[in-house]
């Protein structure tokens, strides 16, 4: 018998992607979809691509409307999930795609987000290596409150953690630059997100260590064994609706060879269903991950600069958000981790 | 009386852009356009956007066809310009948009290109700072052989040189990652350049220090006063026909402040007609440079990592290639440097 | 127990999409993938988005390699399937995504394609209305040779047939213009399919009644009851990898009302799982059908010109090709028609 | 001595394009730029691509601020120009890029726009053929109030008028469908104009004869000699920032040959600097007109349906708006018609 599911923030891009994946999941049935301004409208009016859910109508995002479900997915702007989840029973599995419960450091929260701090939840990146060689997956088993990582964070963490955990890379002078599509910014009505502004153009934002995902990357790589982790992170907005291509670099420690680095990554992800290391000389395209819960990692070592360069591709809305949420839910609830999730991208 | 001009390689993207700019230049008249396979065809069949040049017919790319002009622009695949220019008189101004005459180091040429080395020409990046505070512009006055920089090289060199020359930045651990459109790769028939492969997707290439533009960046920053310059450079191909957005980072030297760095960049480019430093907190979009010979540089300092991050936008076909060629020709011939070149982009 | 499947032409876009859908189909197991030049390579090298099929290696496209399967899907250039299928046993279900077996008229074949004519197969458009009110679906039950419609044909036929069949529209002066992405043209190395040529640009081709899909549209609408069917059909290539948006118009017969036309379309598709008529005033986006076997039809009547205008969106690779192939196979084999096919698009 | 120019609505896309073209015009100097909400800001903050105009600051859009210039260009939402121009002296050349003064029929204005009707001005489409074989250009000489045509209208009118004027085509059952980029819709903050909605997707709007440009097309073709002109017009929004590709069709009158039609178009545009008929078998791409005041027309006759199909490409912001404005101003003021306008597109 399938579990009843509510999705809060169902009119946005993350909410829409959650619904697309949930509609294909054999263990879940979406019974409630909520929104703020769009409450009262048929879901299909806001998400015209979700034909199989055209029977649903948006109701208001309130604790009452979210209560009484086995699983609640939140796809709300940051700062919104705290009070809503306070009203839900402890036994309900609540998975937050927003930022509210990602950071373990209250001072990082204050510095990068601000407002009331509601504390960190179990972090939804199962493949994250810990310093002791275990994976973060273990913490997700049986969890009832899960915080889904930021999309950029996932791409960069997966592209660096095995090198940090293995002790092969210096963690204090990391540099990551990524190309990302505008869907990560949501459906917000901002001039710089208009099609005319983005078609045929690339631009940078959150430059100089100001992007909110920065402390979360540091948090992950510290968990992976890094000491004094420091990262210069710059996102570039490019004209594709979905996708993240993250170029992440780190200094090799003295004496470390390219083969050792490759080995560390291959060992880390050998048994992972959703993270794949590409053969030497190959680098991923984001198109290969569209709609899939897949992360592809290409690795090169630049001997002249003694830097490793990894290139990681994900779909920001799937492995970067909604897919990670469902993967984490699968683990928490004891389903096969891959249930309802595709590894095959929609390309070209 | 206008000077007679020949353009070799006129059927490609760089050749087409040279012609577009030359058609608007008051001192030049294009009298000869050459090609390899397309010789014999009307230019308009290959470059249907160049209506004002529809009277021209492509002839074969031979030294004979290129002889007898005041100025010859070459937009040929690398390895092709050496023997052709050997046959042209010394007094003819020859400007090579290809790679053949960019590198001053024969061993770099051998390592990154291979084949016969024809030696370096005067380098066509007028705004490049030298260690002594002069600009490279001085070397272009009266030059008769000019090598136009690689497009990626221009974006990164402009985005780092003032910091290096001023002694504020460490030059030995630079990292640059850029987003670039496919026109930089030319009209080559390769599967990975098909629209279906590139639309909706970002991908990386030349990863791990293998891209041919790497030694040229080092050459420029060494000229700017860098010692032991090292750079990890990664280009990402994104779905826009034109444009480069380069994110370049360098470590601040101990004690250096953000204000000092900004000052160095602003001083370096204060009088430049084509390079502009944006106000603090602003970063460029490539759209703002489309069709223009403009480079826009945004600067931020990340105090947490003690890295400066500069974001530079150019049009790879204009300031990155054809515009730089004409700007250099203007200087070499004693015309006003901005003759025939627009600073205004075609946006949106 | 699942059926064994071979896909010929597995390195192209249509082949890749067949494989993506087949990988998610519970009744089929892909055991053989074939190609011409790429035989010998791992499938993942050509289709890096198909992670779940990374165990497959391409073999040569020969009758021998295709023999011995329950179902064979062909995604070959036109003119290639005739001799291959001649060698396959009658009992094998063969589904041809190419053009070879679509046209019932040998003279149309000669005029629009040329070369040997191999005869028409059962046509794979289940929703096509016949003059007698039946659907083409009936003919597919138990079929062993199925020709998948051309992608443009599907969009236009679905957007006009109910109006023709109901006798409300004149069929002799139809006009259809559509926007289509380059994936429909396949992986062919042609200059006009390069990303630089297509990004930021729209262009027309096959103008003036010369496009090969023209007689196939006439064939379908004649089957729907049209007499003297004539259609002016023009495709426009636009910068999106997938999708067809077809604007189809027809004259209303005298006295016919807008309500009658809407009723005819709604009645025709009321029970269809994959074809949906949008409410009055709404028109589809192709994004809503990406990756889905869905066709969305919007309808308006222009009283000033007495023309109905329908706008139909499909994914050219799914409902336009691979999805139609699998939908038809489901019917032929007695599976539920929707098996393995999603109705939800991947948007944004 | 150059003329002083004011541009109202300078923060939008049409205003920006006017300024880009005016900056390159030898006879005009922009001295005033106005806006509504953005008054007080530096122009460069809103139009970061207009480096050469970075000395200008936006002032409020009021009659006072617009007074005292030789030429005033208006790029305002419809309904805004009436009262503003009422306050300007008769001798000032006022050119309205909005819709307010395009329609000669008050009832069409009421039906398609509504609000107060301010009457029609001289219409800014110099190449429009009149029934008597003259061109609309004649009316522009010395004009002081000019209404710039709608962008879609220009593409379709140019693509049909010579066939109508020559009496070769039926005008009562025209069909036009076009692909257009989102810049035509302006900088309005609407969800359907967000990049995530438009990237990778095509959609239709204004379907069924409701688009406001419809009566304006009828007005033009009636002027060209059409009787009972009727047109079914449908625009499709596609993922390119600029450009219109219009496919326009008309029935040939009995006995008319393809050669006659081609001859009529070639004769009509033979001496036009900005409108070009392509050779038989060739059809335009919008990329070839980007940034240029060029219209390219391809022509085919479909003998099976007895319809001519013309395909017309323009840049909606140039020949479709700002370029037409300046071309008209040149004529009105007695400058060479091509002054300050390029015929060469920015491609790829």
Tally C-beta pairs within 8 A across A and B: 188
> What's the Rg (C-alpha) of chain C?
19
Residue B338 placed within a domain: no
Q: Which residues of D touch A (CB under 8 A)?
A: 13, 181-183, 187, 189-191, 193-200, 239-241
Q: Are D23 and D29 in contact (CB under 8 A)?
A: no
Residue B271 placed within a domain: yes
What one-character DSSP code corresponds to residue A197?
H
**C-beta neighbour count of D277 within 10 angstroms:** 22
d(CA A98, CA A146): 10
CB contact under 8 A, A242 and C348: yes
Q: Are D247 and D309 in contact (CB under 8 A)?
A: yes
Same domain, C144 and C184: no
Task: Say yes or no to pLDDT of C1 above 90.
Answer: no
Strand A71-74 with A93-96, pairing: parallel
pLDDT of residue D140: 98
Mean pLDDT of D209-236: 96
Chain D contact set for A190 (CB, 8 A): 189
Nearest chain B CA: its distance from A348 CA (Å): 6
Taking phi over 0 as left and psi of -120 to 50 as alpha, with beta for the rest, D123 belongs to beta
Tally C-beta pairs within 8 A across B and D: 88
> By residue range, what is the domain housing residue D72?
3-148+318-333
- Closest chain A CA to residue B296: A203
Nearest chain B CA: its distance from D316 CA (Å): 11
State the best of A195, A286, A317 to mutate against chain D, taking most chain D CBs within 10 Å: A195
Chain D contact set for B292 (CB, 8 A): 49, 51
Of B209, B240, B305, the CB nearest to A201: B240
**Which residue, chain included where needed, has tokens 């920053």?**
B221
Residue B36 placed within a domain: yes
Chain C contact set for A18 (CB, 8 A): none
Of D13, D24, D183, the CB nearest to B342: D24
Residue among A71, A75, A125, A151 flagged as catalytic: A151
CB contact under 8 A, B287 and D49: yes
> Nearest-5° angle of CA D327, CA D331, CA D333?
115
CB contact under 8 A, C194 and B194: yes
pLDDT of residue C63: 94
pLDDT of residue D218: 98
Instruction: State pLDDT tens for residues A317-346.
Output: 999 999 999 999 999 999 999 999 999 999
Same domain, B199 and B310: yes
pLDDT of residue B172: 96
CB contact under 8 A, C48 and A284: yes
| Cβ neighbours of residue D113 closer than 8 Å, sequence gap 6 or more | D78, D79, D99, D103, D212
State the best of C12, C23, C42, C51 to mutate against chain A, taking most chain A CBs within 10 Å: C51
pLDDT of residue B87: 85
Instruction: State pLDDT tens for residues D84-137.
Output: 888 899 999 999 999 999 999 999 999 999 999 999 999 999 999 999 999 999
- Closest chain A CA to residue D190: A189
Where does the pLDDT of residue D34 fall: very low under 50, low under 70, confident under 90, or very high at 90 and above? very high
Residue A246 placed within a domain: yes
Residue C101 placed within a domain: yes
Of A51, A288, A289, the CB nearest to C276: A51
- Closest chain D CA to residue A187: D191
- Closest chain B CA to residue D196: B200
Same domain, B288 and B245: yes
> What's the Rg (C-alpha) of chain B?
19
Beta bridge partners, A246, equal A178, A312
Coil, strand or helix: which one is C17? helix
Short-list D53, D29, D52, D31, CA closest to D42: D53
Same domain, A157 and A178: yes
Q: What 3 state SS string does A65-116 have?
A: HHCCCCEEEECCCCCCHHHHHHCCCCCCEEEECCCCCCCCCHHHHHHHCCCC
Taking phi over 0 as left and psi of -120 to 50 as alpha, with beta for the rest, D31 belongs to alpha
Task: Say yes or no to pLDDT of A87 above 90.
Answer: no
In which element (H, E) is residue A145 found? Answer: strand A145-147
Burial C75-94 (b: 16+ CB within 10 A, else e): bbebebbbebbeebeeebbb
Give the neighbours of chain C: at least 3 Cβ pairs within 8 Å. A, B, D
User: What are the backbone angles phi and psi of residue C203, rounded to the nearest 5°?
Assistant: -145, 160
Short-list D154, D178, D285, CA closest to D232: D178
CATH code of the domain in which A34 resides: 3.40.50.720
Task: Say yes or no to pLDDT of D1 above 80.
Answer: no
Strand arrangement of the beta sheet that strand A145-147 belongs to: A58-60, A28-35, A3-8, A71-74, A93-96, A145-147, A122-123
Residue A344 placed within a domain: no
**C-beta neighbour count of B257 within 10 angstroms:** 12
Short-list A305, A173, A255, CA closest to B228: A305
CB contact under 8 A, D243 and C290: no
pLDDT of residue C13: 98
**C-beta neighbour count of B191 within 10 angstroms:** 11
d(CA B337, CA B343): 12
Q: Which of A76-80, D161-165, D188-192, D232-236 has the lowest mean pLDDT?
A: A76-80
pLDDT of residue C86: 85
pLDDT of residue B178: 98
Mean pLDDT of A102-130: 96
Query: Is there a catalytic annotation at residue A97?
Result: no
Same domain, D302 and D326: no
Chain C contact set for D221 (CB, 8 A): none
Instruction: State pLDDT tens for residues C166-204.
Output: 999 999 999 999 999 999 999 999 999 999 999 999 999
Short-list A107, A122, A191, A162, CA closest to A308: A162
Short-list B179, B181, B217, B129, CA closest to B318: B181
Strand D307-314 with D244-251, pairing: antiparallel
- Closest chain D CA to residue A238: D195
Nearest chain D CA: its distance from C177 CA (Å): 6
Task: Say yes or no to pLDDT of C226 above 90.
Answer: no
Same domain, D172 and D310: yes
Nearest chain A CA: its distance from D261 CA (Å): 37
Same domain, B240 and B327: no
What one-character DSSP code corresponds to residue B291?
T
Mean pLDDT of A162-190: 97
Chain C contact set for B196 (CB, 8 A): 13, 181-183, 187, 193, 241
Of B182, B196, B197, the CB nearest to C196: B182
Mean pLDDT of A283-293: 98
- Closest chain D CA to residue C234: D247
Q: Are C310 and C159 in contact (CB under 8 A)?
A: yes
Beta bridge partners, C32, equal C6
Residue C123 placed within a domain: yes
| Cβ neighbours of residue A279 closer than 8 Å, sequence gap 6 or more | none
Short-list A334, A276, A347, A315, CA closest to A20: A315
User: What are the backbone angles phi and psi of residue D84, rounded to the nearest 5°?
Assistant: -65, -45
Short-list A318, A220, A309, CA closest to A275: A318
CB contact under 8 A, A240 and D181: no
In which element (H, E) is residue B64 found? Answer: helix B63-66
Q: Are C347 and D196 in contact (CB under 8 A)?
A: no
pLDDT of residue C276: 98
| Cβ neighbours of residue A77 closer than 8 Å, sequence gap 6 or more | A9, A98, A186
d(CA B109, CA B98): 13
pLDDT of residue A226: 84
Nearest chain B CA: its distance from D223 CA (Å): 29
Instruction: State pLDDT tens for residues B87-113.
Output: 899 999 999 999 999 999 999 999 999
Residue B340 placed within a domain: no
Mean pLDDT of D55-72: 96
Same domain, D133 and D182: no
Task: Say yes or no to pLDDT of B133 above 80.
Answer: yes
CB contact under 8 A, B347 and D200: no
Half-sphere CA count of A227, side-chain side, radius 13 A: 2
Mean pLDDT of A137-155: 98
Nearest chain C CA: its distance from B106 CA (Å): 33
Q: Are D52 and D60 in contact (CB under 8 A)?
A: no
Nearest chain B CA: its distance from A190 CA (Å): 16
- Closest chain C CA to residue D287: C201
- Closest chain B CA to residue C180: B196
* CA distances in angstroms from C335 to B72, C318, C331, D167, listed in the order given: 69, 18, 6, 58
d(CA B70, CA B57): 19
Chain C contact set for A281 (CB, 8 A): none
State the best of B190, B195, B202 to mutate against chain A, taking most chain A CBs within 10 Å: B202
Residue among B151, B158, B245, B326 flagged as catalytic: B151
Task: DSSP for B299-339, please give it.
Answer: EEEETTTTEEEEEEEE-TTIIIIIHHHHHHHHHHHTS-TTT
Nearest chain C CA: its distance from B199 CA (Å): 6
Short-list A197, A58, B289, CA closest to D186: A197
Going B53 to B55 to B58 to B61, the CA torsion angle's sign is negative
Q: What 3 state SS string does chain D have?
A: CCEEEEEECCCCHHHHHHHHHHHCCCCEEEEEEEECCCCCCEHHHHCCCEHHHCCCEEEECCHHHHCCCCEEEECCCCCCHHHHHHCCCCCCEEEECCCCCCCCCHHHHHHHCCCCCCCCCEECCCCCECCCCCECHHHHCCCCEEECCCHHHHHHHHHHHHHHHCCCECCCCEEEEEEECHHHHCCCCCHHHEHHHHCCCCEECCCCCCCCCHHHHHHHHHHCCCCCCCEEEEEEECCCCCCEEEEEEEEECCCCCHHHHHHHHHHHHCCCCCEEECCCCCCCEHHHHCCCCCEEEEEEEECCCCEEEEEEEECCCHHHHHHHHHHHHHHHHCCCCCCCCCCECCCC
Where does the pLDDT of residue B57 fall: very low under 50, low under 70, confident under 90, or very high at 90 and above? very high
d(CA B152, CA B149): 8
State the best of D194, D242, D286 to mutate against chain A, taking most chain A CBs within 10 Å: D194
State the best of A41, A196, A321 to mutate against chain D, taking most chain D CBs within 10 Å: A196
Q: Are C130 and C123 in contact (CB under 8 A)?
A: no
Where does the pLDDT of residue B226 fall: very low under 50, low under 70, confident under 90, or very high at 90 and above? confident
Domain count of the fold of chain C: 2
CATH code of the domain in which C253 resides: 3.30.360.10
CB contact under 8 A, D200 and A241: yes
- How many helical (H) and strand (E) elements, i.e. helices and strands, does chain A have? 11, 14
Give the neighbours of chain B: at least 3 Cβ pairs within 8 Å. A, C, D
Residue among D151, D238, D297, D300 flagged as catalytic: D151
Task: Say yes or no to pLDDT of A60 above 80.
Answer: yes
**C-beta neighbour count of D283 within 10 angstroms:** 25
Tally C-beta pairs within 8 A across B and C: 64
Going C310 to C313 to C316 to C321, the CA torsion angle's sign is negative
| Cβ neighbours of residue A55 closer than 8 Å, sequence gap 6 or more | none
Going A171 to A172 to A177 to A183, the CA torsion angle's sign is positive
Same domain, C167 and C246: yes
Coil, strand or helix: which one is C288? helix
Higher pLDDT, B78 or B341: B341
Chain B contact set for D346 (CB, 8 A): 20, 49, 290-291, 346
Task: Say yes or no to pLDDT of A121 above 90.
Answer: yes
Same domain, A172 and A79: no
In which element (H, E) is residue A274 found? Answer: none
Same domain, D23 and D111: yes
- Closest chain B CA to residue D54: B344
Same domain, D186 and D92: no
Beta bridge partners, B71, equal B5, B93
> What's the Rg (C-alpha) of chain D?
19
Nearest chain B CA: its distance from C244 CA (Å): 14
């Amino acid at each position: 018998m399938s579990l009843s599911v509510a999705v809060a923030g169902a009119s946005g891009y993350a909410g829409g992607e959650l619904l697309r994946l949930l509609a294909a999941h054999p263990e879940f049935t979406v019974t409630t979809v909520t929104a703020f301004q769009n409450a009262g409208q048929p879901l299909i009016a806001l998400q015209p691509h979700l034909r199989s859910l055209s029977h649903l109508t948006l109701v208001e995002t309130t604790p009452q409307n979210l209560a009484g479900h086995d699983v609640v997915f939140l796809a709300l702007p940051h700062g919104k999930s705290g009070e809503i989840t306070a009203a839900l029973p402890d036994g309900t599995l609540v998975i937050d795609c927003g930022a509210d419960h990602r950071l373990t450091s209250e001072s990082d929260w204050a510095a990068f987000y601000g407002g009331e701090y509601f504390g960190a939840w179990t972090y939804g990146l199962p493949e994250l290596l810990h310093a002791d060689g275990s994976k973060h997956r273990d913490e997700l088993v049986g969890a009832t409150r899960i915080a889904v990582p930021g999309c950029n964070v996932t791409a960069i963490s997966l592209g660096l953690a095995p090198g940090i955990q293995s002790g092969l890379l210096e963690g204090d002078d990391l540099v990551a630059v990524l190309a990302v599509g505008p869907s990560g910014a949501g459906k917000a009505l901002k001039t710089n997100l208009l099609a005319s502004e983005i078609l045929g153009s690339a631009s940078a934002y959150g430059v100089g260590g100001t992007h909110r995902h920065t402390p979360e990357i540091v948090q992950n790589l510290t968990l992976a064994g890094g000491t004094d982790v420091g990262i210069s992170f710059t996102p570039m907005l490019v004209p594709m609706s979905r996708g993240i291509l993250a170029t992440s670099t780190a200094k090799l420690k003295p004496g470390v060879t390219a083969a050792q680095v490759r080995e560390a990554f291959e060992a880390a992800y050998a048994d992972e269903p959703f993270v794949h290391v590409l053969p030497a000389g190959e680098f991923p395209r984001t198109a290969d991950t569209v709609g899939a819960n897949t992360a592809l990692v290409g690795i090169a070592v630049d001997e002249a600069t003694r830097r490793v360069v990894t290139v990681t591709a994900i779909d920001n809305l799937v492995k970067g958000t909604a897919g990670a949420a469902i993967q984490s839910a699968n683990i928490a609830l004891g389903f096969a981790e891959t249930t309802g999730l595709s590894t095959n991208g929609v390309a070209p």
